[in-house]
């Protein structure tokens, strides 16, 4: 089995996935695209986040 590509997430991706849908149509579309990508493609990658991103997301 081939190794999956590595994906390093940053805080904006996590924020988009967990935020309430925006009332701004452009931001809402970006949130929707991020959610769809996450559901359809995330399993294709070995996902990592840095300690800094983890701390920022927790705050």
Over residues 4-57, the pLDDT tens digits come to 999 999 998 988 899 999 999 999 999 999 999 999 999 999 999 999 998 988
Total domains in the fold of the chain: 1
Is 1 contained in some domain?
no
Is 27 contained in some domain?
yes
Sequence-distant (≥ 6) Cβ neighbours of residue 35 within 8 angstroms = 16, 17
Q: Find the domain containing 51 and state its range.
A: 6-58
Give the number of other Cβ atoms within 10 Å of residue 19's Cβ: 12
pTM confidence score = 0.78
């Amino acid at each position: 089995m081939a190794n999956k590509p590595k994906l390093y997430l940053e805080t904006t991706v996590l924020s988009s996935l967990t935020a309430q849908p925006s009332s701004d149509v452009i931001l809402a579309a970006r949130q929707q695209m991020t959610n769809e990508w996450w559901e359809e493609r995330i399993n294709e990658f070995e996902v990592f986040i840095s300690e800094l991103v983890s701390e920022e997301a927790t705050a």
